[in-house]
Structure 1
Amino acid sequence: MIPLKACACIAVLLTFAPMARAAEPVDTAQSIIQSQIEAFLSDDAETAYSFASPQIKGKFPDKSIFFDMVKRGYAPVYRPGNFAFGRSKVEGDTVVQEVLISGPDGKDWTALYVLVKQPDGSYKINGVQMLQQAPGPEI
Structure 2
Amino acid sequence: MIPSLILWFTLLSIQSIQAPAPSLEEQAIESVIRQQLDAFTFNDDEEAYRFASKQVHQKFSQDQYAEMIRADYPQITKSLRASFEKIHLDDAAHAIARVQITGFNHKKVTAEYRMIREEEGWKVDGLAIIPVRASAAPDPPLLQEIQSVIRRQLDAFKKEDYKEAYRFTSTSFQKQFSKDRFETMIRARFPEMARAASTRIGRAFLDNARATVELDVTGLNARIIAVEYRMVFEEEGWKIDALTLLDPLRRF
TM-score relative to the length of structure 1: 0.74
Pair 1:91 & 2:94 matched: no
Structure with max Cα Rg: 2
Partner of 1:11: none
CA distance in 1, matches of 2:37, 2:108: 16
Partner of 1:47: 47
Partner of 1:37: 37
- Code of the residue aligned with 1:46 in structure 2: it is E
Partner of 1:14: none
Secondary structure, in 3 states, of the residue corresponding to 1:128?
Answer: strand
Please say which of residues 100-109 and 32-41 is displaced more in the overlay: 100-109
Superposition deviation, residue 57 in structure 1: 1.0
Q: Specify which structure has the higher proportion of strand.
A: 2
CA distance in 1, matches of 2:109, 2:64: 24
Task: Name the Cα RMSD after superposition.
Answer: 2.4
- Code of the residue aligned with 2:67 in structure 1: it is D
Pair 1:27 & 2:53 matched: no
TM-score relative to the length of structure 2: 0.43
What do residues 31-83 of structure 1 show as CA deviations (whole Å, max 9, x unaligned)?
000000000011001000000001111110x2111111111011111112332
Where does structure 1 differ by over 4 angstroms across 4 or more consecutive aligned residues? none
What do residues 100-122 of structure 1 show as CA deviations (whole Å, max 9, x unaligned)?
0123443321001111011x251
CA distance in 2, matches of 1:99, 1:50: 20
Identity %: 24
The answer to whether the 8 Å contact 1:114/1:127 transfers is yes
**Stretches of structure 2 lacking an aligned partner (at least 5 in a row):** 1-19, 134-227, 229-250
CA distance in 2, matches of 1:42, 1:108: 19
- Code of the residue aligned with 2:69 in structure 1: it is V
**Stretches of structure 1 lacking an aligned partner (at least 5 in a row):** 1-18
